[in-house]
Amino acid sequence: MSHAEVYLQEASKIAQLVDRDTVEQMAKGLATVRNDGGRLFVLGVGGGAGNAGHAVNDFRKLCGIEAYAPTDNVSELTARTNDEGWETVFAAYLEISNANKNDAIFVFSVGGGNAEKNVSVNIVAALKEAKSRDMKVYGVVGRDGGYTHQVGDAVLIVPTLDESRITPHTEAFQAVIWHCLVSHPDLQRKATKW
């Protein structure tokens, strides 16, 4: 089989294996965030940061949820990295935003954060800050879900079919899941153009 055939067969199988109950829990939780006047902070690094910016647009425009991706503000992100360190950029963003129990975090990460392995420690620090503020935590992650899955309220782990393609499938399914959410009847308030 060609690479394209293998990859797309895996994507089809992953779509069949996705935990639908977790997706429904996310939709209900995000509707509560909106209805309570809360905000959604979407966090990711690398490909997850790109997904975060796109998701923020969709949650704001289609669902009427006040949403932010700290990585979209490159001036603040790089100033905080330079002055305070990369590990604290997201936690400091939550702090200055006066994040509270009505707000939530949505994490897009392949590994979900792991302090012991020094991977995505800025996500770990943000999750600790969020939990100290009684915020809800949602996410779409890969592998074992890392710290995001350990402390999250509704976190989808994208099933792993082949270790060599964890990252592309996880990042692709982050987009699949957030688009499922923004078109969910409990969340969507405005129709898409097409």
Identify the structural domains of the chain with CATH numbers, from first to last: 14-182 (3.40.50.10490)
CA angle 191, 178, 68 (to 5 degrees): 90
Residue 182, exposed/middle/buried by CB under 10 A (0-12, 13-18, 19+)?
Answer: buried
Average pLDDT for 94-99:
98
**pLDDT, tens only, 106-137:** 999 999 999 999 999 999 999 999 999 999 99
**pLDDT, tens only, 3-48:** 999 999 999 999 999 999 999 999 999 999 999 999 999 999 999 9
Identify the band that residue 97 occupies on the pLDDT scale cut at 50, 70 and 90: very high
**pLDDT, tens only, 58-77:** 999 999 999 999 999 999 99
